[in-house]
Structure 1
Amino acid sequence: MQYRRLGKTGYDVSTISFGAWAIGGTWGEVNDEESMAALHRALDLGITLFDTADVYGDGHSERLIARLRRERPEPFYVATKAGRRLNPHEAAGYNRQNLRSFIERSLKNLEVDALDLLQLHCPPTELYRQPEVFGVLDDFVQEGLLRSYGVSVELVDEALEAIRHEGVATVQIIFNAFRLKPADAFFAAARAADVGILARVPLASGLLTGKLRADTPFEQGDHRAFNRHGEAFDKGETFSGVDYETGLEAVERLRPLVPAGQTLAGFALRWILMFPEVTCAIPGARNPAQVEANAAAADLPELTAEQMVAVQQVYDELIRAQVHGHW
């Protein structure tokens, strides 16, 4: 495993970390004992950052991570998120009272006195232009409820606006071989501001594993079945906003680039880590085998210049028109 510093937090975290959405919900049926085995295997392999949210299984994901902390002595960091419990989900709801309520609930779920990293959970765009919200978060840091805070965003423009607030230590953004705009338009600014970057949806909801087919069935509770057109939340969260059939075509173009003995998923994760501005990728996992496959990507050889160019060509020819102008 390799480690990088997570921006202003000062935390050294594993470049392949653990995304805990899948063990909470909206990825089909989950088994808690299998989820716990995955979490334990992550620690075994040197993973030190677990990313979750208060809405993943309505707190269930957070509570599983609390159980992990009880069962293992090794130190690790937890990044959670808040805001999506608001209904309606409006910028005005990100007020001191509501944020305190969300934080206190996560503290209880995670069984800690302070959150390592709280991220605003893809709030409405106008919130990033409301400095009073970030002032409230600064107050919570001073109060000792938070050690650091950041944002999880949908849009590159939101990320750029967010890092104008000095207290923002991290940005979580969709970045993978099907979503290249952050590298073009955000990474240099993040580096200049010493902001850590968490690359979420790194495998494009499973497309970049190379295991999905045109006839792959998805359970009714899996967002890949019910959110392909943004029916429940932002379309970009599902397959990175790429049309499913186009994504499958792009995968076939990528397969010949994968060296012998590697998987497409490992190749896709290692591609992300070729960008030094990225602190870590946070692929999800629901069982130990998936954790092992994800973690192995951290120690793969660097991609060649030819491979990097080829990935860019696939994006430019098949994907760019669908996503680059939207997020």
Structure 2
Amino acid sequence: MPKRQLGAHGPMVSAIGFGCMSFAGFFGEADDETSLETLAAVEAAGIDFWDTANLYGMGRSERIVGQYLKESGAEVTLATKVGIIPGPPRAFDNEEDYIRSELESSLKKLNRDKVELYYIHRRQQELPVETVAETMGKLIEEGLIDAWGLSEVAPSTIRRAHSVVPVTAVQNEYSLWTRQPELGVIQTCEELDIAFIPFSPVARGALGVADLDPSTFDDSDFRKVNPRFMGQNWLENMDYIRAFRAYAETKGVSTPALALAWVLHQGDHLIPIPGTRTKEHLADWAHAGEIGLSEDDLWEIEQILPAGWAAGDRYSDQQMVGVERYC
């Protein structure tokens, strides 16, 4: 597994990380034993940068990760997040007392005395991000976290925060069907030596090895009310996806591996964090870091999936709450 540096002063980590959101059932029912087996496969694949959050299953994902780390003794660079209070209605808290309380809880679940990276999952808009940066700086000084980051934020927020306490990573959605970060976030991170961490880099499973059928999604599935997976939007999106899958076949690679390789080729400071519930799906893309893409390949992909091709918004109105819009 190739390595990339996590920010200007962070550790070298696997070029492909792993997102643990699906262990909490966001994409359909999850099984804890299967999740533990998946983490074993993740470790075996050389993926040593893992990402979770206190929100995922209200601690379920963190507990699974913590159990695996305790039982296996695996050494990984670990990230978790704080700041979202689930609703309805969804709310946000970036105050110091709340952050400290949630970090203490997360560390217990993770069986850790610190985490390498701690994100503000969503900004509390009425609280200056400079104040939040000061809080995270205190946690760094106290040895409770090694570094901090932000999620789903605008370039202006990144600059303001970074001017107070250097930001190590920014995590926003980015893939072949969600390309808004190209309008400022990717460039800002590169300029400031911040790692950019694309989540959902294989389009929430849409760019998988086989067609999805949204009619079979569980009621708890995050995608059930996601506009891109609904009605006419999904039918139009499938035309593009099938064309991309056909191109991947001509290259002798899987659709998700090619989608992930494309993300990796957008900059050396990008460290995508795909996720899955099973080791079988992991095998579909774990080798993506070894796929080389020529300028001709990148041009061909752009013709098949041009910027803005996806029909429907990437979030429903309810899912969009808390996301910073800047374009």
How high is the TM-score relative to the length of structure 2?
A: 0.86
- Deviation larger for 246-255 or 23-32: 246-255
> Which amino acid in structure 2 is aligned with residue 311 of structure 1?
I
- Matches of 1:263 and 1:65 in 2, distance apart? 28
1:94-137 CA distance string (max 9 Å, x none): 1111111111110111111112111011224555x431111011
Change in CA separation of 1:160 and 1:249 when aligned onto 2, cut-off 3 Å: farther
> Which amino acid in structure 1 is aligned with residue 184 of structure 2?
A
Change in CA separation of 1:28 and 1:214 when aligned onto 2, cut-off 3 Å: closer
1:40-74 CA distance string (max 9 Å, x none): 11111111011000011111111111111112233
Change in CA separation of 1:62 and 1:321 when aligned onto 2, cut-off 3 Å: closer
Q: Which secondary structure state, in structure 2, belongs to the residue aligned with residue 209 of structure 1?
A: coil
Matches within 5 A, 1:294-309: 294-300=285-291, 302-309=292-299
Match of residue 246 from structure 1: 236
Change in CA separation of 1:156 and 1:221 when aligned onto 2, cut-off 3 Å: farther
Change in CA separation of 1:299 and 1:152 when aligned onto 2, cut-off 3 Å: same
Matches within 5 A, 1:149-164: 149-153=148-152, 155=154, 158-159=157-158, 162-164=161-163
Matches within 5 A, 1:1-327: 1-85=1-85, 89-90=90-91, 93-125=93-125, 127=127, 129-153=128-152, 155=154, 158-159=157-158, 162-213=161-212, 216-225=215-224, 227-229=225-227, 243-258=233-248, 259-300=250-291, 302-313=292-303, 314-316=305-307, 318-319=309-310
1:115-173 CA distance string (max 9 Å, x none): 2111011224555x431111011111111211111011155555555444442110011
> Which amino acid in structure 2 is aligned with residue 267 of structure 1?
L
Change in CA separation of 1:288 and 1:192 when aligned onto 2, cut-off 3 Å: same
Do the aligned residues in 2 keep the contact of 1:272 with 1:278 (CA within 8 Å)? no
> Which amino acid in structure 1 is aligned with residue 211 of structure 2?
L
> Which amino acid in structure 2 is aligned with residue 69 of structure 1?
L
- Matches of 1:49 and 1:289 in 2, distance apart? 19
> Which amino acid in structure 1 is aligned with residue 297 of structure 2?
Q
1:172-191 CA distance string (max 9 Å, x none): 11111112232342222211
- Matches of 1:27 and 1:255 in 2, distance apart? 22
> Which amino acid in structure 2 is aligned with residue 281 of structure 1?
P
Q: What runs of 5+ residues in structure 2 fail to find an aligned partner?
A: 315-324
> Which amino acid in structure 2 is aligned with residue 211 of structure 1?
A
Q: What runs of 5+ residues in structure 1 fail to find an aligned partner?
A: 230-237
- Deviation larger for 178-187 or 107-116: 178-187
Do the aligned residues in 2 keep the contact of 1:114 with 1:144 (CA within 8 Å)? yes
- Matches of 2:285 and 2:177 in 1, distance apart? 18
Do the aligned residues in 2 keep the contact of 1:156 with 1:182 (CA within 8 Å)? no
- Matches of 2:152 and 2:189 in 1, distance apart? 14
Do the aligned residues in 2 keep the contact of 1:150 with 1:168 (CA within 8 Å)? yes
User: Deviation of residue 253 (structure 1)?
Assistant: 2.9
